[in-house]
Amino acid sequence: MGYNINAIMNTQFRFILTTASLLSALAIWFPNEVRADELKEAKVTQVIQDVKVLPSNASPRPAAVNDNVRPGTAVQTGVQSRSELTFKDQTITRLGEKTIFSVGEGARSIDLGSGQVLLYVPKKSGGAKVKMGPVTAAITGTTILADRDPSGVIKFIVLEGGACIYLDSVGQSLYVGPGQQLTYDPMANRLEDPVDADLNQVITSPLIKDFRRLPSAPLIEQTIQNQRQGAGGAYGNDALTRAAQVAGASSVATATPDQFLRGLNSLFARSSAREICAYVGVAVRARPDLAPQIVAAALTVSRVGPRTDFKDFKQPVGKEISCDEANCIVQAAIAAHPSAAKEIVDAAIAAAPLLRDCFAVPCPVANAFNQPRILTTINPSNFVPQSPEQPPSGQ
C-alpha cells in the first residue's frame, strides 16, 4: 500500500497551524479573563479585633485571614478594629474602624459605605473606581486615603500618584495630585478646591503604621520630600538660585527662559532621580510659564550619578529613567501647576515617547459645575400684574 508523503505532510502542517492558532487564541483570551476578574475578588490578609464578613445571602460571620470577598459581599469593622484585603493584582485595601466596604458589581469597582479606607493600586494594573456615595474617584497607579463621615462629608487624600474625582449630580470633576486633599460637603453639594495635605501627619494613620510597609512607600516618601522643598519657598531655594546665577541670571525671577533652563539642566545633570523630582516641583512653582519645558528637560537630561550600568550617558530616552521616576516628574509638575496638566503630559510624551504608557492623561482640573436652577420668590411690592389680553413687555 502506497502513501502520499506530500499529502501526509500537508495534513500534519495544517494540524500544527490549527493547534498553534488555538493555543495562541487561548493564551490571549485567558490573560484577559484573569485581568477582568482581578478586582472582583479579594482575600482577607489581616484582621485586627472585630471584623465581620457580610455575605449577601447569609448571616454575618467573623472575618478570618484568607476569607474570600466577592461582589455583593461586604466587610465591616467595629470600634478600634481594622482589616486588610488584597486583590489578585496586588491592589491593597485597608479598612479603618467603623467602616463598611464592598466589592462593586462592575469591573474594577469598590464601594465605601462609610468609614475610612486606604487603597493602593499598582502601576499598570488597569486602575480602579472608588464609589463614595455621590462622589466617584478614578485612580490608576496611586495610593489614596478616603474618609466618608456619617454626616456625608467626604475627604480624599492622594499620598502618591493622582486621581480624578467626579460629582456627577452637578457635572463637576477635579484632578487631585500627589500630596493634595479634596473635600466634598453635602450641604454645598460641590467638590472644594484641592489643598495641600500634611503628609507627615497623614502617614501616622493606623492604616499605615499598624500594617506592613506599602509597596508605594518610596513614592510616598518622595511626595513628602517634594512638599518640604516647596514649603521652603521656590525663589529661596539655594540650589535653584545658584543654578540660575551660574547661567548668567541675577535671580530666578529675572532669568530668561534660556538662562533658567540651562541652569536647571546643570542642576538635573548632577542630581539623583529623587532630587530631580523634587527640583521639578520647586522649578515649576518658581516659573509656571516654563512648566512643559521644565518637565521635558528633567526627562531628557543625561544624569552623571552613581549609576555605572551603562557606558553611554546619551542613550535613547526611556532607557536611562524608570517609569516610576518619569511619572514622579510629571506628577510633581502637575501638583505645582494643576491648570497646565494637559500641556505637561503632552510635553512629557513628546520628550519621552517610549514612556508614554507611564503618563496618565489627567482629567479636567477646572472646578466648573452646572449651577443648580434657583427659583426666586416674587416680592409683592415689586410685582406688576400682567393682563392676559396684553402682550408681554418688550414685544
37 vs 87, residue with greater confidence: 87
Task: Scan for cell 518622595, then name that residue.
Answer: 222
pLDDT at position 272 over 80? yes
Closest CA to 273 of 321, 330, 344: 321
Domain 42-209 has CATH 2.60.120.1440: yes
Query: How much is the pLDDT for 347?
Result: 94
For the chain, give percent helix, strand, coil, nearest 5. Answer: 35, 25, 40
Q: Which residues contact 232 (CB under 8 A, 6 or more apart)?
A: 282
> CA 110 to CA 130: how far, in whole Å?
5
For residue 364, give the DSSP letter: P
Which of 16-25, 90-99, 161-170 is predicted with the least confidence, judged by mean pLDDT? 16-25
- 103 and 41 in contact (C-beta within 8 Å)? yes
Task: Scan for cell 511626595, then name that residue.
Answer: 223
In 13-89, where do the E strands start and end? 42-48, 51-54, 61-62, 68-69, 74-77, 82-87
In 122-196, where do the E strands start and end? 128-132, 135-139, 142-148, 154-160, 163-167, 172-176, 180-185, 190-191, 195-196
Report in angstroms the alpha-carbon separations of 264 from 248, 261, 304, 331.
Answer: 12, 5, 14, 18
Residue boundaries of the structural domains of the chain: 42-209, 232-358
> CA 189 to CA 339: how far, in whole Å?
23
> CA 364 to CA 195: how far, in whole Å?
16
Which of 37-46, 308-317, 375-384 is predicted with the least confidence, judged by mean pLDDT? 308-317
Query: How much is the pLDDT for 387?
Result: 52
pLDDT at position 304 over 70? no
Start-to-end Cα distance in the chain:
104
User: Hey, which residues does 128 pair with through a beta bridge?
Assistant: 139
Per-residue cell: 135: 462622589
pLDDT at position 314 over 80? no
- 279 and 229 in contact (C-beta within 8 Å)? yes
- Average pLDDT, integer, range 101-112: 77
- 83 and 47 in contact (C-beta within 8 Å)? yes
pLDDT at position 321 over 90? no
> CA 119 to CA 329: how far, in whole Å?
22
Query: How much is the pLDDT for 372?
Result: 47
User: Hey, which residues does 82 pair with through a beta bridge?
Assistant: 48
Per-residue cell: 267: 542642576
Q: Which residues contact 187 (CB under 8 A, 6 or more apart)?
A: none
| 207-211, 279-283, 365-369, 374-378 — most confident range | 207-211
Query: How much is the pLDDT for 274?
Result: 82
Q: Residue 292, Cα to own-chain centre: how many angstroms?
A: 20
Closest CA to 174 of 385, 362, 386: 362
Query: How much is the pLDDT for 299?
Result: 94
pLDDT at position 20 over 70? no
pLDDT at position 7 over 80? no
Query: How much is the pLDDT for 391?
Result: 55
> CA 194 to CA 181: how far, in whole Å?
5
Task: Scan for cell 495562541, then name that residue.
Answer: 24
Query: How much is the pLDDT for 96?
Result: 96
